[in-house]
């Protein structure tokens, strides 16, 4: 039986499957504990760094706020970040001390805050090449390659899914105590100053624990910058 999207339609390309909202019950599928349901042996959740992971251990927290200023209590968030050395670790494995990928959610509990337990990411080169292991072609010195060797400021990529969000919103979280790196970041520095601050998490310290806070505002005053890429 023919699939509607099994034959290339135009330009010899298939169309991407269309997005739909994750809906109000996304947690039963992707955040089982947050839905109050039994979990499986291994879940993809918000402890990205175990105590033995290298780097500065931090908690990253926030809320999600809608255009009326109300808390979004049913958001689901995915995080993707480099390790403390600025290297992405794609092979997800819960036995490793650090995973670059994590998930979190807001619910009607815990003040409707999301939380990630992680380490502060290192700076990543735009082209992702790890200087220790990757080859850099010194002869290549034009603008494009100079750009690709630039280092971005430490950041965590966040994708926000929720009821009412038809296609997930992609943003980045930066750190307020990385002033110099933030000023040099080729992504952050492109933003208008009035909007740049919406991506910068504030630092809090409590009983020796370092916590960064970023509230994500979906709409209106102080609206978070969302990216298309």
C-alpha separations of 184 from 152, 171, 187 in Å:
7, 18, 9
Show the binding pattern over residues 169-188: x = contacts other proteins (CB under 8 A), - = does not. xx-x-------------xx-
Output the CA torsion sign for 149, 116, 33, 164. negative
Tokens 């969302």 found at: 226
| The one among 49, 77, 152, 181 contacting other proteins by CB under 8 A | 152
Query: Does 40 interact with other proteins (rule: CB under 8 A)?
Result: yes
* Number of Cβ atoms within 10 Å of the Cβ of 220: 11
Q: How far is the CB of 198 from other proteins (least distance, A)?
A: 10
Query: Does 189 interact with other proteins (rule: CB under 8 A)?
Result: no
Q: Residue 150 in contact with residue 186, Cβ under 8 Å? A: yes
The rounded distance, in Å, linking the Cα atoms of 187 and 80 is: 16
Kind and range of the H or E run holding 201: strand 200-206
Instruction: Compare residues 140 and 204 and give the one whose CB is closer to other proteins.
Output: 140
The rounded distance, in Å, linking the Cα atoms of 6 and 101 is: 31
Q: Residue 89 in contact with residue 83, Cβ under 8 Å? A: yes
Query: Does 80 interact with other proteins (rule: CB under 8 A)?
Result: yes
Instruction: Compare residues 26 and 53 and give the one whose CB is closer to other proteins.
Output: 26
Tell which positions 85-144 bind other proteins, by CB under 8 A.
Answer: 87-88, 90-96, 99-101, 108, 124-130, 133-134, 140, 142, 144
| The one among 12, 193, 205, 206 contacting other proteins by CB under 8 A | 12
Q: How far is the CB of 9 from other proteins (least distance, A)?
A: 8
| The one among 110, 167, 189, 209 contacting other proteins by CB under 8 A | 167
| The one among 63, 74, 105, 117 contacting other proteins by CB under 8 A | 74
Query: Does 37 interact with other proteins (rule: CB under 8 A)?
Result: yes
| The one among 33, 71, 159, 210 contacting other proteins by CB under 8 A | 159
Query: Does 41 interact with other proteins (rule: CB under 8 A)?
Result: yes
Tokens (6 digits) for 137: 């072609």
Tokens 């480099």 found at: 82
Tokens (6 digits) for 12: 């010899």
């Amino acid at each position: 039986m023919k699939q509607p999207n099994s034959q290339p339609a135009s330009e010899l390309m298939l169309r991407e499957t269309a997005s739909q909202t994750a809906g109000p019950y996304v947690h039963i599928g992707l955040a089982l504990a947050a839905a109050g349901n039994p979990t499986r042996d291994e879940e993809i959740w918000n402890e990205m760094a175990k105590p033995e992971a290298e780097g500065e251990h931090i908690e990253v927290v926030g809320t999600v706020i809608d255009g009326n200023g109300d808390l979004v209590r049913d958001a689901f968030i995915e995080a993707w970040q480099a390790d403390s050395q600025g290297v992405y670790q794609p092979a997800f494995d819960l036995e490793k001390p650090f995973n670059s990928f994590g998930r979190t959610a807001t619910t009607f509990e815990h003040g409707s805050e999301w939380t990630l337990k992680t380490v502060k990411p290192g700076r990543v080169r735009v082209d992702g090449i790890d200087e220790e292991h990757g080859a850099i072609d010194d002869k290549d010195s034009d603008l494009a390659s100079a750009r690709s060797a630039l280092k971005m400021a430490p950041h965590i990529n966040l994708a926000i899914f929720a009821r009412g969000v038809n296609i997930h919103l992609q943003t980045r979280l930066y750190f307020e105590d990385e002033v110099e790196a933030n000023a040099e970041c080729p992504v952050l520095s492109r933003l208008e100053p009035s909007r740049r601050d919406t991506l910068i998490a504030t630092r809090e310290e409590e009983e020796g624990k370092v916590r960064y806070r970023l509230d994500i505002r979906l709409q209106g005053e102080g609206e978070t910058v969302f990216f298309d890429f």
